[in-house]
Amino acid sequence: MSYSSRIPDVTPSPQDNAKARLALARKWAYRLLSTVSIPMGRDALDEELSSRLDVLCAMLHEKEFPAAAAEQAGAELAELGYLGHRGLRCTAEVLGKGLPALPEFQPVERYAERVALVIGALGSGFSAANTESVLTQQESMQRSLLKAVRDANWNLKESEARFNEVVTSSTNGVLIVDLEGRLLSTNAAVGDILGYSQEDLVGVPLLDLIAPGFTDVLREAMAELVAGSVERIRQSQRMLRKDGEAARLSLTASLLRGADDELGYFVVVIEDGTELALLQNELKRQSLHDALTGLPNRQFFSTQLEIALRQAGPEHGITIFHLDVDAFGMICDSFGGRVGERLLQHVAQRLKALLAGEKAMIARFGGDEFGVFLENTADTPAIGVIMKSINDELLEPTFVDGHGLAVSVSAGVVHRPDTDAEPADVLRAAERALRRAKTGRRGQWELFHAGQDAEDRRDDALAVEMPAAWENGEISVRYRPVVELAGGAVSGVEAALHWDRPDFGVLDHDRCAGLAEATGLVLPLGEWLLRVAGGQSVWWRQRGHFDRAVAVRLTAHQSADADLVSRVVRVLDQTGLAPDQLMISMPGGVLPMADAADNLTVLARLGVLTAIDDFGLGPLDFGQLASELPVQAVRVARGLVATRSPYVAALLPLVRERGVAVAVDGISSAEQAQWWRAAGADFATGDHFGVPRPPGEFLEELEPR
Amino acid sequence: MSDEKNWVPQSVDVSVPSSARLYDYMLGGAHNFAVDRLMGQKVERDMPQMRSAARINRAFLGRAVRFMVDQGVRQFLDIGSGIPTVANVHEVAQAAAPECRVVYVDRDPVAIAHSELILADNDLTGAVQADMRDPDSILNSAEVRRLLDFDQPIGLLMLYMVHWVPTEADPWGLMKHYREVLSSGSYLAITHLAADHTNEGARAAIARMSQAGGQLAVERSRDEIAAFFGDFELAEPGLVRFAEWRPYGPGDISDDPSVNDIAYAGVGRKP
């Protein structure tokens, strides 16, 4: 160009200056338009920025640097459109390079500092205005939201009308109670039950209608509703009839809250004629609870443990304690059985108090043994901390019949057992650990291991070796048939990892996936498995050998991987595999995680077939199927296949009703296959139908069929 | 009675992302909620050029509206308008001809509430909450009847819109209905996802976004999209990639060809 900072003596002409500014303004407009949205055409923006550039240049020529004006210019710039940080960066780049190159600002040394100051002030004015704009936009969205809710209020009115209809016609008594505890309105059924007219009851405190001796429990429960610690309360109650008689009834109450969670009013429903049901409940309670301590008994504990196991979150799991009071026999011998009983009551009480903040169940197993399971959360203290606090508490002497007694407890602990473990096995393991703990000093606890130590160490070594083994080609992909149980036809192929480790033996898919999962290798290894299997499937199809879908199982880590969708799309693109020729399955346990469910949904939308593995291990499974997860199939957990779980078998018709196919894995005999076919399973895999084989052998095996 | 949904208007659910707010986020706006931004970040991961694609669609809107104003159109119906903020129809049209009247239609109640708020002191604009698949609820709405005269030319805009209508819902029949109510000299502008685009990430992004809209966007071929125009005469250069419709400056085209070919665009005139 004709301008150069190396010729400072040449004074540029006004025309040259104008031309150079115009070029810079155009460049600025060009860059902004390619980066952000501005509601202006190219010409309009050229003109706009050109006049703004003139203003900035004038500032640079002024003796006193006009900081406020430069900030103002920045603020005005922000108003051009959605410029944001991208627009600011682009402006700073263009002006930072462009201004010092303008002929009017030569020699550049004299202006360099001012240019920096102008751009700085411009930036600060810009970002202040930008922040202001973001806040304004957010505020206007909040207002829009409120407006939208208000606009939709007719909907609310309609539903209120419906509610009133239900209330009016109900044979249960419905009482609307304000936060002060006074009745606002009741339905006709309340009058039938209590003998009052509806008008009589308006403004009457609810507690005035409760029989003496029953008010405290209701008052406390309503306080809990207000505190939000419970959603709904249900109790057997006595309410006073107009004639003075007490009516036995069951009372349910909840607290309705408004849109912003502000308290609304209580809805209390009373149900008459429940004496029989109440009696039944009491009998049931007695059969499930220990009479001495009031704690659940072992039988009740086991059933609840089973539910907790199946529901346990994949992240924290549950922990089971088998507790035993040390030297209890000695205490009974010395002070008598009555003291022993009082002591057990004391222990039960302390345990309840200590674990009140946790999601825990405490039971008395009999004798001096207690069971506890904790549904762990991120905040659950470590086992050692819990045990220490239990023992610290019990070592504080308590006075029983004049005897100051301090006891300790020992414990066997099972931490995070498999979610498909049998409760009886878990309890046995805890007891075994307890016996070990008892061999040591008192107040000890022992974690259950099952020879796990040695195995863990071996696994670590294997996992570390795995990347190199993959690199060396020791890991390959094998294929096994997916068979239709009804006709025996091969309906698909499942791809599996296979590690032939020299001098060691073979590790199957589950082992490989488990090891790779532990180190994170599963992400690249899993993508590789997908790509190899996808390519193989396309190759078979092109040659007319085999044209059924290929199934690949994902691990938990893979399922929740933020890049899963792009990995799958990449594999589909690279191999040419059609989406509906690929079936991806995820372990059911990960689906409560938003990312995994999200991935599954997006894959399904892309046309990929989807399935859930480990079906039957959690009560969540069915709920998920029932909700919107778009799965074609579920695969029953292998352990449940082996045990022929009647619980799962009972679920199958419901699953199939929803158009979801059922697969079973680990089928090892014709008889087993027949059982599951009768139970309603559609597809099967397992050694009975074919072990995983290299691609060539897989095809050969298919031939004779 | 315990069905909580009855107590909260079902149509206002800000725990799920909305495509209108997502689009605003992609344009760099702050008219969105955390859930929209989270979705936006995921979508950008699938398709890093998403912002460019949104910006270029917005730029096409500007060109199409300016073109229509040049042809004498003074009233606009924008179906699937989203949140009318930066560079929207009334801004562009009223800058060119202040007497222009605009009605925005979207099915997102929050987007419409927002439109009503920001347009409150603009007598020449209005907003209607309706689904494009229910033309009568749009055409008979109070706002449309107040602002639009169907005896005069109208500019009908359906940008990034018709691909949300699944084939089972007969989008061609719907578009025919819309074309029929317009008078001679009216214009129709469409941008629509192309079946033959070359953007690798777009499929994943679309699948993900469809969770917000509740259905999957349908990519269509050039012929299928051309059929939406019926007997309307396509203005030069015809039905082309949306970046190639009378591009005028850098904001209209991306450096990345896989952005430029993601959608088809055209403007047709009713004979």
**pLDDT over 50 (residue B10):** no
Nearest to A148 among B27, B87, B113 (CB): B113
Say how many CA atoms lie within 13 Å of A303 toward its Cβ. 6
Q: How far from the centroid of its chain's Cα atoms is residue A333's Cα?
A: 52
Assign residue A375 a region: left if phi > 0, alpha if psi is -120 to 50, beta otherwise?
beta
Question: Would A14-149 and A169-283 be classified into the same CATH topology?
Answer: no
Q: How would you class A646 by CB atoms within 10 Å of its CB: exposed for 0-12, middle for 13-18, buried for 19 or more?
A: exposed
Taking an 8 Å cut-off on Cβ atoms, the answer to whether B6 and A569 are in contact is: no
Mention every residue, 6+ apart, whose C-beta is less than 8 A from residue A335.
A400, A401, A403, A405
Contacts of B208 in chain A (CB under 8 A): 565, 598, 602, 605
Determine the distance in angstroms separating the CA of A342 from the nearest CA of chain B, rounded to an integer. 44
Q: Residue A214 corresponds to which tokens in the numbers above?
A: 């029953």
Q: What is the ipTM of this complex?
A: 0.73
Q: What is the band of A147 on the pLDDT scale with cuts at 50, 70, 90?
A: confident
> Could you read off the pLDDT of A467-482 as tens digits, one per residue?
888 888 899 999 999 9
> What is the rounded CA–CA span in Å between residue A93 and residue A98?
8
Does the global pTM surpass 0.95? no
Q: What is the pLDDT of residue A160?
A: 65
> Could you read off the pLDDT of A148-200 as tens digits, one per residue?
777 666 555 666 666 676 777 777 888 889 888 999 888 888 888 888 888 88
Contact assessment for residue A491 and residue A546, using Cβ atoms and an 8 Å cutoff: no
Extended beta strands in chain B, E state: 75-79, 101-106, 125-129, 155-159, 187-193, 233-234, 240-241, 263-269
Q: Which residue matches tokens 């069905």?
A: B3
Across chain A, mean pLDDT equals 83
| Contact residues, A window 480-539, toward B, CB-based 8 Å cutoff | none
Q: What is the pLDDT of residue A347?
A: 92
> Could you read off the pLDDT of A214-245 as tens digits, one per residue?
888 899 989 988 888 888 888 888 888 888 88
> Could you read off the pLDDT of A411-451 as tens digits, one per residue?
888 888 888 888 888 888 888 788 777 765 556 677 766 54
Domains of chain B: 15-269 (3.40.50.150)
Contact assessment for residue A488 and residue A545, using Cβ atoms and an 8 Å cutoff: no
**pLDDT over 60 (residue A302):** yes
Q: How far from the centroid of its chain's Cα atoms is residue B125's Cα?
A: 16
DSSP string for A585-598: EEEGGGTTSHHHHH
Interaxial angle between packed helices B19-26 and B50-70, expressed in degrees from 0 to 180 and rounded to the nearest 10: 90
Omega prior to B237 cis, within 30 of 0: yes
Q: What is the pLDDT of residue B3?
A: 34
> What is the rounded CA–CA span in Å between residue B222 and residue A322?
70
Mention every residue, 6+ apart, whose C-beta is less than 8 A from residue B8.
A259
Determine the distance in angstroms separating the CA of B229 from the nearest CA of chain A, rounded to an integer. 27
| Contact residues, B window 198-237, toward A, CB-based 8 Å cutoff | 200-201, 203-204, 207-208, 210-211, 216
Instruction: Indicate the residue type of A449.
Output: H
> What is the rounded CA–CA span in Å between residue A547 and residue A491?
9
Q: How far is the CA of A544 from the CAs of A8, A494, A631, in angstroms?
A: 78, 18, 28
Q: What is the pLDDT of residue B4?
A: 32
DSSP state of A1: -
Taking an 8 Å cut-off on Cβ atoms, the answer to whether B208 and A162 are in contact is: no
Probe site for chain B from A37, A45, A88 (most B CB atoms < 10 A): A37
Q: What is the pLDDT of residue A455?
A: 55
**pLDDT over 50 (residue A367):** yes
> What is the rounded CA–CA span in Å between residue A387 and residue B230?
78
Probe site for chain B from A27, A141, A599 (most B CB atoms < 10 A): A141
- In 3-state terms, what secondary structure has residue A445? strand
Nearest to A140 among B1, B14, B114 (CB): B114
> What is the rounded CA–CA span in Å between residue A34 and residue A93?
14
**pLDDT over 90 (residue B180):** yes
**pLDDT over 50 (residue A5):** no
Tell whether B15 lies on the interface with A, counting CB pairs under 8 A: no
Number of helices (H), then strands (E), belonging to chain A: the values are: 26, 21
Determine the distance in angstroms separating the CA of B31 from the nearest CA of chain A, rounded to an integer. 5
In this structure, is the dihedral angle defined by the CA atoms of residues A655, A656, A658 and A663, taken in order, positive or negative? positive
Assign residue A606 a region: left if phi > 0, alpha if psi is -120 to 50, beta otherwise?
alpha
DSSP string for B176-189: HHHHHHSPTT-EEE
In 3D, which of A408, A384, A263, A386 has the Cα closest to residue A324?
A408
Contacts of B27 in chain A (CB under 8 A): 37, 82
The CATH code that applies to domain A14-149 is: 1.10.490
DSSP string for A599-661: HHHHHHHTT-EEEEEEETSSTHHHHHHHTT---SEEEE-HHHHHTT-HHHHHHHHHHHHTT-E
Residue, of B143 and B200, whose pLDDT is higher: B143
Instruction: Indicate the residue type of A315.
Output: E
- For residue A15, the tally of other CB atoms under 10 A from its CB is 8
CA gyration radius, chain A: 37
Residue, of A171 and A521, whose pLDDT is higher: A521
Taking an 8 Å cut-off on Cβ atoms, the answer to whether B28 and A82 are in contact is: yes
Mention every residue, 6+ apart, whose C-beta is less than 8 A from residue A468.
none
| Contact residues, A window 280-309, toward B, CB-based 8 Å cutoff | none
Nearest to B6 among A81, A159, A606 (CB): A159
Pairing between strand A263-272 and A173-177? antiparallel
Nearest to B86 among A82, A138, A143 (CB): A82
Residue, of B59 and A275, whose pLDDT is higher: B59
Name beta bridge partners: A349: none
Determine the distance in angstroms separating the CA of B109 from the nearest CA of chain A, rounded to an integer. 6
In 3D, which of A229, A428, A421, A413 has the Cα closest to residue A312?
A421
**pLDDT over 90 (residue A493):** yes
Say yes or no: domain A463-702 is CATH 3.20.20.450.
yes
Helix H or strand E segment including A237:
strand A232-240
> What is the rounded CA–CA span in Å between residue B146 and residue B124?
9
Q: How far is the CA of B99 from the CAs of A454, B84, B93, B96, in angstroms?
A: 83, 18, 9, 9
Q: What is the pLDDT of residue B13?
A: 67
> What is the rounded CA–CA span in Å between residue A321 and residue A361?
10
Q: What is the pLDDT of residue B64?
A: 95
Q: What is the band of A669 on the pLDDT scale with cuts at 50, 70, 90?
A: very high
Pairing between strand A549-553 and A490-501? parallel
Tell whether A31 lies on the interface with B, counting CB pairs under 8 A: yes
Taking an 8 Å cut-off on Cβ atoms, the answer to whether B201 and A33 are in contact is: no
Q: How far from the centroid of its chain's Cα atoms is residue A335's Cα?
A: 52
Q: Which range among A442-451, A512-521, B130-139, B241-250 shows the weakest confidence by mean pLDDT?
A: A442-451
> Could you read off the pLDDT of A37-74 as tens digits, one per residue?
887 778 888 999 999 999 999 998 888 888 888 899 99
> Could you read off the pLDDT of A347-358 as tens digits, one per residue?
998 998 888 888
Tell whether B109 lies on the interface with A, counting CB pairs under 8 A: yes
Q: What is the band of B1 on the pLDDT scale with cuts at 50, 70, 90?
A: very low
The CATH code that applies to domain A296-450 is: 3.30.70.270
Q: Which residue matches tokens 């259950």?
A: A448
Residue ranges covered by each domain of chain A: 14-149, 169-283, 296-450, 463-702
Instruction: Indicate the residue type of B245.
Output: W
Q: What is the band of A548 on the pLDDT scale with cuts at 50, 70, 90?
A: very high
Q: Which range among A300-314, A483-497, A548-562, A587-601 shows the weakest confidence by mean pLDDT?
A: A587-601
Mention every residue, 6+ apart, whose C-beta is less than 8 A from residue B249.
A29, A30, A33, A41, A42
Chain A to chain B Cβ contacts (< 8 Å): 151
> What is the rounded CA–CA span in Å between residue B257 and residue A517?
39
Q: Which range among A279-283, A511-515, B154-158 shows the weakest confidence by mean pLDDT?
A: A279-283
Determine the distance in angstroms separating the CA of B216 from the nearest CA of chain A, rounded to an integer. 7
User: CATH assignment of A169-283, given 3.50.50.60, 3.30.450.20, 2.160.20.10, 3.10.450.50?
Assistant: 3.30.450.20
> What is the rounded CA–CA span in Å between residue B150 and residue B140?
11
Nearest to A562 among B31, B45, B58 (CB): B45
Give me the mean pLDDT over the B2-6 stretch: 32
